Amino acid sequence: MRIDEEQNKCPSCGEEKKDPNKAKRKELAVSCMLNTEVGAVLAVIRRPSDPTSQYISAQEDHFDSTLLQSLKSLRALIFNPHQEWRSIDPSIYLSPFLDVIQSDDVPASATAVALSSILKILAVEIFDEKTAGARDAINYAVTGITSCRLEKTDTASEDAVMMKILQVLRGIMVHSASFLLTDHAVCTIVNTCFQVVQQFANRGDLLQRNARYTMHELIRIVFTRLPDITVNEGENSESDTDDADGDSSYGLRCAVDIFHFLCSLLNVMETGDYDGVTLSTADEDIQLFALVLINTAIELSGEVIGKHPKLLRMIQDDLFHHLIHYGTCSSPLVLSMICSTVLNIYHFLRRFVRLQLEAFFSFVLLRIAAFGGSLQLQEVALEGIINFFRQPTFTIEAYVNYDCDPIYRSVFEEFGKLLCKNSFPGNGHLTSLQIQAFEGLIIMIHNIAENIDKEDDSRTSDPYPVEITEYRPFFEEKPKDDFETWVEYIRVRKVQKKKILIAGNHFNRDEKKGLEYLKLNKLVSEPPDPRVYAFFFRYTPGLDRNFIGEYLGDPDDFHVDVLKEFTATFEFTGMNLDSALRFYLETFRLPGESQKIQRVLEAFSEKFYDQQPSEIFASKDAVMILCYSVIMLNTDQHNPQVKKKMTEEEFLRNNRGINAGQDLPREYLSELFQSISTNAITIFGQSGSQVEMNPSRWIELMNRGKLLQPFIVSDFDRRLGRDMFACVAGPSVAALCAFFEHADEDEMLHECIEGLISVARIAQFGLLDILDELIASFSKFTTLLNPYATAEETLFAFSNDLKPRMATLAVFTIANNFGESIRGGWRNIVDCMLKLKRLKLLPQSVIELNVAASASSSDNLTQLESESGIVFPNRDLKFSKGQSSGMVSRFSPFLSLESPEDSISLGMNEFEQNLKIIKQCQIGNIFSNSYNLPTDALLNLGRSLIFAAAGKGQKFSTPVEEEETVGFCWDLIICISLANINKFEAFWPSFHEYLLGVAQFPLFSPIPFAEKAIVGILKICQKLLSSYQADKLPEENIFKSINLMWKLDKEILDTCSEFITQSVSKIIIECPENVQTHLGWKTVLHLLSVTGRHQENYDQAVEALIMLISNNTHFSRINYAYCIDCAFGFVALKNSPLEKNMKILDLLSDSVNSLVQWYKSACSEPGSNYSVTSSVNTSSMEDNKGAGSLNFAMNLFIKLGEAFRKSSLARREEIRNHAVLSLRKSFTLAEELDFSSTNCINVFNLVVFAMVDDLHEKMIEYSRRDNAEREMRSMEGTLKIAMELLADVYLQFLKQIAENPGFRTFWLGVLRRMDTCMKADLGQYGETKLQEVVPELLKKMIMKMKEKEILVQKEGDDLWETTYIQIQWIAPSLKEELFPDDF
């Protein structure tokens, strides 16, 4: 602050002190200015009219003396030293100049100078709103200036004066005291400006521009003040009476009058002579000017208009009526301005114009855009629709307010489908209209995507679609109180509307089926509510009007109730009978029967009479009679068969005395006659005819608007967004794909891809079929799925055309970012990938599995690298929600490489260019990040890979190609399985079902599928078993699949033997504790046994088995039987190492200790006295308490004995003999087992007797061969050991055996076998050496039996006698020694 300014401040209060000298200088300046202006006016007045004359005449004599006197008087007061201009009434120094302006005699030049003087006075603001007399002065100034007279002037001077007038009027409005103007003064100013615009339209362009600019400024000033105007109680009504004080400042009244004036300008007509006919058409120039001003008023006033009922009513009624009327029949320029006006109204006042907006959309935008008379009009209408879609809130609000309400049109759906239809390319090049519609479609899709896919939106998506679970009246609107409840209500209403439209289609074919459909879908209450049918007939579009009329005219009581409710939906307030009847009969076809007509007209008459405020009709009967008369008049005037037409007088005469004995007003009847004669009532109109916005329809719309809920302002909700897009999803995807197919420009292709990404962002929230459809459609543009193209043709198209590359990148981008929402689309993605593989655009394997990766699902795979060096890093590519720029930007770098020349200039050959694109696809991440996929998506991906590996949908040119493809698919199956190993049970059962399904394919070849599959599944199995699984189902499922694969073709156990042996050995050695099921052990040990027979795998397999059996921790009841089978398989092999066979047999015999230990543990467990099926039934055993019985040990022992029995038949004598000795050892160790009498006999029958019988049979077989004495004697030696084992074991368990009721039979069996061996016929090889052994064994056994008093002579027991007889037959030499008493 400067020092002099500081000095002018008051030290106590800080206010600026008045500088007397400064005030004096200011007063002097004003005085000088006024003096100058007065002098200038006087000088012009005194100037001679003829400047060329040499005589100067006294001009003052030609003017009113009072005019000059007032100017001179003002000059005399100017330099009064005691006056202060701000305190002087402004009228004193304004009146002289205003007198000049209003004078008829002064020249135009003097008027112009006087106007300039007033403008200068206003500019320096000599007075302000606080000056005494300011109100009268400024209003008087308006009166004087608008009363300016220019009687004696030329055109140029008049234009100059008019320019000054405009400037002064604007100066008044911007003056600080302008708010003192009255409403009338402001309206006068505006009217004067418009008169200049209209009357001087043919004058100079400068004046016209100035007038329009001034008018615009005046509107801006008036409506800028509207938000500051307080709504008075008297003003807050729609009454036309003026409650404002005439002396008050301008405000709402002038705003209403001005706005009404602007609306009336839309109706300004101009006449013209066209071929001799005078026609009146709307003045387009005035309409455009009025629309500009209306837009300005709405933009400046904003939502404040809603607080002023008069203004609001004007917009709802007059303005919208004009906009709709002229919107259908105007030029493109006017239509464009109308669309802008409606858009502004939507922004600020949409809560109040719900029905009006629907009418504008229906009668203007939709109609012109679909059936426009010219391309330009269609483009303008489309642009209007697109501008609405550019608004962030329009899509959701249009859907909520219209599409989800059964009594409104589906505005959003119709707009969306219209854009799809207009953007759909034809056969030729893309037109501007198609491009424009496509851009609008993309805007709509982006708008939904940006709102539905917000990162901060954590709300879950409700199931789609919604089901109607109970009856809810669809014709009742629910206020938006609780948002969640309201959203659910809106979604149900949308479903109701959809069902109503379906019912309408049924109704048109069969009315009973249509109404029954309403009941089936819970749209009709029980008992039925007549209002349901009434609203169905009234608001469902496209219904057959004949059926409606017949239903409404039916005499049934319920039908009559429906008729009353149907008629109650109409609002006839403000209509005359003619308009009301026309509007009523538009909705149905009047039935032909007179009684039905009577019922319909009675309902109409009652409703019309109730809503007529006038006193024209005395009763509803008068209305009904007149209705009949009108219908008869309509038939008479417009039926060509009626030759003699009724005259007006006859019509009047026919209707005398119908109004309760009185006549109706003649004028009223005359208007009816003229209206009917001129325009027929469509009584028998056709269904589906185009409806026009006539005055009666507009009146009814305004009446309905008073009853219905206002426009709902709604925030975006993910559930509503999904439902919304589902309405247009099919056409949108079709339009996107068709446009992509026909587009040539890079920018258009880029927009297609952006639209594709946005559709995917929307579809991920429940519209999974749409996403699959999108992928399927775009996959065909990759050219990779063309079954008729050769590999060379496909490769050429891919390398030299931009579209296939963009489509490929788009498909795999969606797979990377929206894989969790893809279902059936995985098949297309896999097919594309496999085709790339065959074209050598993918390496042999996209990824390399790392089975030993971390247990964490996200770390199951290490960095993945293809064979050609393309790296697919293991990272999540999921883009930030709400931002698709990252994905779309991926397309930008290679868009610049459109031509081969560009690639060559960068030093890239065709292969490198393709490689770069494939690298951008990041195919590896689809699988390495598959742990993010939900179960459904994972199942579909796995199914696609499994079926592709099985050859479904694939064509292989060579076996090598087939093998590579199958291996590639299984690599990917392994990858996704390992990545999702933590949820293995959720997906693998389905995978197993897919494998079963594959086996049923016609012409299915298990090679190489099963070969690759078993390798892959074993890798998965190793990973699964690397950690403990509390649930045993995953283990069972994986082993089921392994068994399925090798059973498809058992040869794979040979071809893949090395890998299988390594895998199962690794399981046995590293994680045997995690194999918990019988199926698991059975499969592992079976595979080990089968593949270990190969010489190269034998050592590894046997070592794994020996390690397992040697480890008492992992050698368990579950795997015991399978270990025995596996061990026997190895022992039975030819040429196997003798030492290892001996070791295996020793381990098996020692395993009886484990059996004894398990048996003792089971006996010590409480509740062990149960019986379960034999443990040999391996498919049902489990290693837990109660999973076996006390008999399990004996069953396993029998299993072991049978293995030894089989081993005793081996070709090598050492193994046979060792097997028998091992069995003897086993019996010795097994004494503590449950060797009951029954068990002992079972063991003898299944093991000992069977072994002896087999060895004897084998010995006899060899005896009958030539040159087989060595083999025969070897077998005889083994049989000798077996016989000794028989005797030893018999004596070991003699006590238990003797207690069995079947002991006699058993003993005879022993004797029979002794006899058989004793009398064996060895043919040419002589006698058997067993004759020396058998007697000794018999002697030993009988002596023991005697000792134990088992073999004694007893009355009633023939055992002694039987034995005696048998000994006589077997070994007579023993008779005397064993039975001395019998001699």
329 vs 272, 324, 326, 334, CA distance in Å? Answer: 17, 9, 5, 9
- 108-124 vs 134-146: helix crossing angle, rounded to 10: 150
Whether 593 is catalytic is: yes
**Two tokens at 1271?**
């083999």
What is the H or E stretch that residue 871 is in? strand 871-872
Integer Cα distance of 937 and 826 in angstroms: 8
Integer Cα distance of 908 and 992 in angstroms: 45
Residue pair 326/266 in contact by the 8 Å Cβ criterion: yes
Integer Cα distance of 1022 and 1060 in angstroms: 11
* 271 strand-pairing partners: 280
Interior CA angle at 218 toward 215 and 222, to 5°? 145
User: Which class for 952: exposed (0-12), middle (13-18), buried (19 or more C-beta within 10 A)?
Assistant: middle
Cβ-Cβ contacts under 8 Å for 772 (sequence gap 6 or more): 822, 823, 824, 825
Cβ-Cβ contacts under 8 Å for 1027 (sequence gap 6 or more): 855, 1074
What HEC string does 649-700 produce? Answer: HHHHHHCCCCECCECCCHHHHHHHHHHHHHCCCCCCCCCCCCCCCCHHHHHH
- 1117-1131 vs 1078-1091: helix crossing angle, rounded to 10: 10
Exposure b/e, 138-176, CB count within 10 A at least 16 = b: bbbbbebbbebebeebeeebbbbbbbbbbbbbbbbbebe
**Two tokens at 52?**
């060329």
Integer Cα distance of 255 and 1312 in angstroms: 131
Residue pair 1091/1047 in contact by the 8 Å Cβ criterion: no
445 vs 366, 721, 1009, CA distance in Å? Answer: 19, 10, 44
What is the H or E stretch that residue 1228 is in? helix 1213-1229
Closest CA to 225 of 256, 250, 258: 250
Closest CA to 652 of 682, 629, 686, 680: 629
Integer Cα distance of 1009 and 1004 in angstroms: 9
Integer Cα distance of 1016 and 977 in angstroms: 10
Residue pair 307/352 in contact by the 8 Å Cβ criterion: no
What is the H or E stretch that residue 872 is in? strand 871-872
Residue 281 carries which DSSP code? E
Residue pair 627/577 in contact by the 8 Å Cβ criterion: yes
Interior CA angle at 401 toward 396 and 407, to 5°? 145
For residue 278, give the 3-state DSSP assignment.
Answer: strand
**Two tokens at 964?**
């590579």
User: Which class for 1271: exposed (0-12), middle (13-18), buried (19 or more C-beta within 10 A)?
Assistant: middle
Residue pair 1068/1077 in contact by the 8 Å Cβ criterion: no
Instruction: Out of 60, 125, 484, 593, pick the active-site residue.
Output: 593
Catalytic residue numbers, as ranges: 593
